Chains A and B, each alone.
Chain A
């Protein structure tokens, strides 16, 4: 028990971190008008620091709050990351799609369930296991990514993924990419948990922001390793499920109400 205590004392809220956060918040408070605080500072990581395994980014999807017919998370993702919405694509069957909205019905009870489906950011990702070039990888903070510099577009990861989360870019993008989100023909891609935003210190994803803005609050993004974070608190309270939990992949996306 004493061991456990000492561990929890060292855990994320170390005195050093407290001092850093305190100083940063004070600086932000000085710089900005009273009453306006920079919340992002808490999750900010200096540019020259690599992603740390002390953090594990995750998302809680509350499907009881996810609204029928609402597509805001999908369009926010497409806007943030620069992929063409499937409906606008010339070839919808092969168009890249990072997040998709599912509307399910239980055939026995006719109960309807709404949920977004995207890369589940597994702790044991099958896509990483099968990648022949090592392009598919898991970053230290738990975000599963494709290194497009080494991806050869073989699509083995697309077959290995139980969630059909990945897609291949089939057509040239002709310089329509976002400066923050490079993507290109012949590479596989998927949800990145808005890694460019996370690294910037936003501490949130485009889909979760859009869901909150729409007033549904069905998506909650945060650090699952930090016991004080909102997502950890909600995960403690709510019964949640991992999709295909039988595969033992330890997912970064958890669903409530499915």
Chain B
């Protein structure tokens, strides 16, 4: 009797799993490779970040943590690894922020990697002054059309897998 119930249960499980897989496959074929890739927008200012892109993808949090202690406790305010300078370059032109919309620079990757950002509980997500008055904008106004052409790029699956490792 017990054996019969077990085999019935097993059969039921197999049927349900197959059905679920079939449903998932039919419903969202685009998501077969996982969640939508993050949108990585090129920084408004400059060609190259303060460190290599690969290095920054893996280690930006270490740099920021180190810098925050140097700044708060000792009063060292070098610009190279400061969060404020990240925001200066990476704030989106649309929202003027690095974390206001879901495509903004910080949020885009962090939601993909499911890592909560605590920085912006306290730190402003926007550069000093409104975007229109922002020195970056004054500097880049004359080649805005060029910027628009190269604004967004999707990170490849391999790149993101590298970051995850």
Are the C-beta atoms of B100 and A51 separated by less than 8 Å?
Answer: no
Are the C-beta atoms of B76 and A137 separated by less than 8 Å?
Answer: no
CA distance A51 to B71 in the complex (A): 10
A175-B126, A179-B84 known; A185-B121 Cβ under 8 A: yes
Question: Which of B68, B75, B100, B128 contacts A140 (CB under 8 A)?
Answer: B75
Which B59-86 residues have C-beta < 8 A from chain A?
68-70, 72-79, 84
With an 8 A cutoff between CB atoms, is B41 at the interface?
A: no
Which residues of chain B come closer than 8 Å to A207, judged between CB atoms?
none
Are the C-beta atoms of B73 and A187 separated by less than 8 Å?
Answer: no
Question: Which one of A29-37, A42-50, A117-125, A221-229 is at the interface?
Answer: A42-50
Are the C-beta atoms of A49 and B122 separated by less than 8 Å?
Answer: no
Question: Which of A50, A140, A177, A185 contacts B124 (CB under 8 A)?
Answer: A177
Chain B, interface size category, equals 20 to 34
Are the C-beta atoms of A182 and B75 separated by less than 8 Å?
Answer: no
Are the C-beta atoms of A175 and B76 separated by less than 8 Å?
Answer: no
Are the C-beta atoms of B75 and A139 separated by less than 8 Å?
Answer: yes
Are the C-beta atoms of B74 and A148 separated by less than 8 Å?
Answer: no
Question: Which of A139, A175, A180 contacts B73 (CB under 8 A)?
Answer: A139
Are the C-beta atoms of A199 and B75 separated by less than 8 Å?
Answer: yes
Which residues of chain B come closer than 8 Å to A175, judged between CB atoms?
97, 100, 120, 124-126
With an 8 A cutoff between CB atoms, is B109 at the interface?
A: no
Are the C-beta atoms of A179 and B75 separated by less than 8 Å?
Answer: no
CA distance A45 to B75 in the complex (A): 10
Question: Which of A50, A141, A148, A177 contacts B76 (CB under 8 A)?
Answer: A50
Chain A, interface size category, equals 20 to 34
Are the C-beta atoms of A184 and B121 separated by less than 8 Å?
Answer: yes
A178-B124, A182-B124 known; A140-B74 Cβ under 8 A: yes
A175-B100, A179-B87, A179-B128 known; A49-B123 Cβ under 8 A: no
Which residues of chain B come closer than 8 Å to A145, judged between CB atoms?
72
Which residues of chain B come closer than 8 Å to A50, judged between CB atoms?
70, 74-76
Chain A 158-190, CB-CB to B under 8 Å as 1, else 0, gives 000000000000000001011110111101000
Which residues of chain A come closer than 8 Å to B38, judged between CB atoms?
none
Closest residue of B by beta carbon distance from A134: B73
A175-B100, A184-B121 known; A49-B76 Cβ under 8 A: yes
CA distance A141 to B126 in the complex (A): 30
Are the C-beta atoms of A51 and B122 separated by less than 8 Å?
Answer: no
Closest residue of B by beta carbon distance from A200: B77
CA distance A139 to B122 in the complex (A): 21
CA distance A179 to B77 in the complex (A): 14
Question: Which of B68, B78, B79 contacts A149 (CB under 8 A)?
Answer: B68
Question: Which of B79, B97, B123 contacts A177 (CB under 8 A)?
Answer: B123
With an 8 A cutoff between CB atoms, is A64 at the interface?
A: no
Question: Which of A137, A141, A184 contacts B122 (CB under 8 A)?
Answer: A184
With an 8 A cutoff between CB atoms, is A242 at the interface?
A: no
| Minimum distance in angstroms from B22 CB to a CB of chain A | 44
What are 12 inter-chain pairs, A to B, with CB distance below 8 A?
A47-B79, A48-B76, A48-B78, A51-B75, A140-B74, A147-B72, A175-B97, A175-B124, A179-B124, A179-B127, A180-B84, A182-B122
